Structure 1
Amino acid sequence: MAGLPLRPIISALAVAGFVGLNLLGTRATGSTENVLVSVKVVILVALGIGGVLYAVTISTEPVQFGTDQFTTVSPIMAAAISFVAFQGWQLLFYDQESMDDPLDQIPTAIYIAIPVAVFIYVVVAVATFALAPLALQAHPHTALTEAASTIAGVVGLAAVGGVVLSVSALFSTGSAINATLFSAGYFAKGMLSDDLLPDRVGDSSVSGVPSRTLLLLGLVTVVFTIYGSLEAITSFASLAFIVVFGSMSALAFSRRDSDQIHPVPPLLVSSVLSGSSYSCSITCT
């Protein structure tokens, strides 16, 4: 477009659009997030279950579950790379002021969301591994699209299947941007209230997320999306969240007596993150 790269322009416009949406208020942001998440979940569940059924009932090739890789380092490296995929649940903690009973609602949401997310990831992974094994090796970023095209090709709609999966990817990206801006804005507002950020970043006394804070977050996000690649952003996010979650787990374990914290969860998380940080230092560089 006019000699300019198209991807950075579209990315910047998408971020700007979601910044504008967040400026409209919590209701608009929440309603949009519900729609985006619902659509992508329905599509991914349909792809996963449909793919498994296709592999079992129609495909002549044996279904591969990747169990032959369990004795290698591949599962550990996969956990490190996919760590970023499970980072979103902690965003619930940043918006407690809009909840009626956060002490009850947040644990319930987490205990439901994480198993559901794991189920979706597993069925989609099995379906993709069974239907598009070569694509996973040659061009993994489009392997899901190929798997969806294979399933939809049964009824002569292979192209439609690919388009639907692409729409799901766009909705997934949009919901991630929207949720991150919303939650990060509330997190920054809390830091402003505790005098951990300068007043120039925003006004903590306003209702909702301060507009100036959202604009600054949007600006930083645009810079990342223009000058960074998908691999670089994912690797940076994985390493950053491993450090943050590891530190918080270590802090929780150290205060297990004074704050009535059960020692097993933070100790287990710290152990998992230690292994993930090692493999991520290899795969994320």
Structure 2
Amino acid sequence: MLRNPSSHGHNNESTVEDDGDGCEIVSNGKNMLARKFSTKGDTLYLERRVGLLSGVALIVGTMIGSGIFVSPTGLLIRTGSIGLSFVIWAACGAMSLLGALAYAELGTMNPSSGAEYAYLMDAFGPMPAFLFSWISTLILKPSQVAIICLSFAKYAVEAFADECGSSDLVVKIVAILSILVITYINCYSVNLATGVQNAFTAAKLVAVLVVVAGGVQKIFQGHTEHFKNYFENTTSSLGDVATAFYSGLWAYDGWNNLNYVTEEIKNPSKNIPRAIYISIPLVTICYLLVNVAYLTIMSPDEIVRNEAVAVTFGIRALGSIAWVIPLSIMISTFGSANGTLFAAGRLCFAASREGHLMNVLSYIHIKKLTPMPSIIFHAIITIMMVVSGTINSLIDFFSFTAWIFYGSAMLALLVMRRTRPDVPRPYKVPIIIPIIIFIISIYLVVAPIIDKPQIEYLYSVLFMLAGMIFYVPFVHMGYKFNVVDRWTVFVQLLLQVAPTKLVLPD
């Protein structure tokens, strides 16, 4: 079970020990980060209930969402050829694996939840960490969940729609209902949330297997006519290549979600790298095989003109069981949204515990030991985005902004190799890996701005500037309105939550 530290970013060293029962005890300075269980009258802190299987399911389940069912169209449009599109699909998988391995070093060096937030705090101090929590809590994570839930709702509604199509209002209502269900699951129990994640991940892997099997059957029947002139019409625009990576990386996003829940992972120094080595190559292989399957049924031109590639594939390849594809997409997106909200709540929890957001968001339920206020807070913002946003605009904003912080995390790792060389690193990556991902992140951020600037990029910059303005009075100077205390008491009584406390070593 995990203690609730309030200063994970201010300690210079951490040690990893074993308590004799196979449970890690991780301490930063005077603060103990993990223990096997709490005793009667002990303070509240999160339990380690996420094992290797659940860790793999969290990564795979959040990575395989709607992306592989809709991204092939956008990626093929931007690359111009199936050859380059396959190169980018494979490259996105390799980037995700390398990035996740770099995060494994960061996550085992600083075992606090919050991922980039904790690492930026360690390397650069409170302001960059706050800006990440500001952007992620209010924009990135909610927009990610909103995109996934809108995709879920679109396929759920179309299954019952008539020839006139589905109403946008109905789609948004279904998306909101799905958010409410996922919020209840994550608030009720960590075991329930991970159980749902495990089950839905297994179901979506079966669905991917069905698609791949359909494609293999078509190949044996001789349907290989679309696998010719691989690089014909390949784009020469660096901006198009960068935005093609956005489409591919959106399908892979979620590779870092395990780091948001480090405090709840059993034996994190071993299970984080293991989960990464299992999950990301598995997802990469699935994506490549699914794209091959699509091309056994549809030409590149047909894929470009088709927004529902997977559904068309199902109709042509699966015949009477074509309904499996929309059902599979619904299962896939629901599971992905569940895992994303699970991780998002921990980021908000970690930032609030540091004093960078409202304190009440770092409270946990006194019996269920879930970060209920932060999960509900994310759900509220996500619902607002569903009401006001569209999928495409949200994806562009998300991808651009996310890679600013992914690159910042790589820079944090490089900085701490020099500033904190003696801090224990149970897992250590070759230094070339964070360097490569850092350079790629710069390209992914700069190239689209130079080639095809969009208003979403300006929104991202303006929101960061707003965060810096907010930081000075409310975080650095510690000013708060009197109503905040009354609101905190109200939330405590309503949700039966309590603050987390430091647990000092015995």
Cα deviation, 1:230-267, whole Å, max 9, x if unaligned, reads 11121122112111101111221223234456321111
- 2:65 maps to none
Higher RCO, Cα 8 Å, sep 6+? 2
| Superposed displacement of residue 268, structure 1 | 0.7
Change (3 A) 1:88 1:231: same
8 A contact 1:19–1:215 mirrored in 2: yes
Answering whether residue 440 of structure 2 is matched by residue 272 of structure 1, we say yes
8 A contact 2:246–2:399 mirrored in 1: yes
Task: State how far apart, in whole Å, the 2-side matches of 1:195 and 1:82 are.
Answer: 35
Higher Rg of the two aligned structures: 2
SS at match of 1:5: helix
8 A contact 2:365–2:372 mirrored in 1: no
| Superposed displacement of residue 142, structure 1 | 0.6
RMSD: 2.6
Task: State how far apart, in whole Å, the 1-side matches of 2:445 and 2:370 are.
Answer: 33
8 A contact 1:235–1:284 mirrored in 2: no
Change (3 A) 1:99 1:283: same
Tell me the amino acid that sits aligned with residue 288 of structure 2: V
Comparing both structures, which one devotes a greater share of its residues to helix? Answer: 1
| Superposed displacement of residue 50, structure 1 | 2.6
Change (3 A) 1:283 1:258: same
Task: Within 5 Å, give how 1:192-207 maps onto structure 2.
Answer: 192-203=352-363, 206=366
- 1:12 maps to 176
Answering whether residue 285 of structure 2 is matched by residue 119 of structure 1, we say yes
Task: Within 5 Å, give how 1:1-285 maps onto structure 2.
Answer: 5-59=169-223, 61-64=225-228, 66-68=230-232, 72-73=236-237, 76-133=242-299, 134-139=301-306, 141-153=307-319, 157=320, 160-161=321-322, 163-203=323-363, 206=366, 208-259=369-420, 262-281=430-449, 285=454
Aligned pairs, number: 277
Q: Give the 4+ runs in structure 1 shifted more than 6 A.
A: none
Task: State how far apart, in whole Å, the 2-side matches of 1:15 and 1:43 are.
Answer: 23
Question: Quick check: 22-31 or 64-73, which moved more?
Answer: 64-73
Task: State how far apart, in whole Å, the 2-side matches of 1:72 and 1:228 are.
Answer: 32
Question: Quick check: 198-207 or 75-84, which moved more?
Answer: 198-207
8 A contact 1:253–1:266 mirrored in 2: yes
Task: State how far apart, in whole Å, the 1-side matches of 2:453 and 2:217 are.
Answer: 34
Change (3 A) 1:12 1:280: farther
Task: State how far apart, in whole Å, the 1-side matches of 2:402 and 2:390 are.
Answer: 18
8 A contact 2:361–2:374 mirrored in 1: yes
8 A contact 1:52–1:123 mirrored in 2: no
SS at match of 2:417: coil
Extract unaligned runs of 5+ from structure 1.
none
Tell me the amino acid that sits aligned with residue 122 of structure 1: L
Tell me the amino acid that sits aligned with residue 138 of structure 1: R
TM-score normalized with structure 2 length: 0.51
SS at match of 1:63: coil
8 A contact 2:250–2:395 mirrored in 1: yes
| Superposed displacement of residue 49, structure 1 | 4.0
Tell me the amino acid that sits aligned with residue 120 of structure 1: C
**Identity %, equivalent residues:** 19
Change (3 A) 1:138 1:247: same
